[in-house]
């Protein structure tokens, strides 16, 4: 088995104070492998009674000191593709910044503006990421 590309995140995390959580199940172990092999993992959440479909990243901050990405109201397949594109760009040193606008992240050009998520809403939308990074709280 090949060494994961981002194994240094285990041995020497770029984020002071970050500690890997103990995996609770096979899903967590797969998530950790994906973060170490690909740089991030995309979590897709189906629409609920008071929310749209949404997807978000876990691992961008750990591996690239890049903000995690949350995309709402777009199919999980489209979100997955867009977040993976941002991950590849982050691996190459390109960062999305607050206020940036992009139109080429989806198959059909649509304007996207990057804005911060209110920290009080993290657990509403970024539950797994909040659990993953809880050593930083």
Residues 101-118: pLDDT tens digits?
Answer: 999 999 989 899 999 998
Residue with tokens 């649509």: 110
Residue 72 near residue 52 (C-beta atoms within 8 A): yes
Distance CA 117, CA 86 (A): 17
Residue 128 near residue 14 (C-beta atoms within 8 A): no
The verdict on pTM exceeding 0.85 is yes
Structure tokens at 118: 């209110």
Residue 52 — very low, low, confident or very high, per pLDDT cuts 50/70/90? confident
* 76, containing H or E segment: helix 76-91
Nearest to 91 by CA among 133, 59, 47: 59
pLDDT of residue 88: 97
Task: Return the CA Rg of the chain.
Answer: 15
């Amino acid at each position: 088995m090949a060494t994961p590309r981002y194994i240094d995140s285990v041995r020497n995390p770029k984020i002071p104070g970050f500690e890997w959580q103990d995996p609770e199940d096979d899903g967590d172990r797969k998530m950790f492998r994906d973060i170490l092999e690909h740089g991030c993992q995309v979590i897709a959440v189906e629409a609920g009674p008071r929310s749209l479909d949404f997807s978000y990243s876990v691992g961008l901050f750990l591996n690239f000191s890049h903000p995690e990405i949350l995309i709402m109201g777009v199919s999980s397949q489209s979100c997955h593709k867009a977040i993976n594109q941002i991950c590849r760009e982050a691996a190459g040193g390109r960062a999305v910044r607050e206020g940036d606008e992009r139109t080429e992240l989806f198959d059909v050009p649509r304007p996207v503006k990057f804005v911060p998520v209110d920290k009080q809403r993290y657990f509403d939308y970024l539950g797994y990421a909040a659990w993953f990074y809880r050593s930083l709280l």
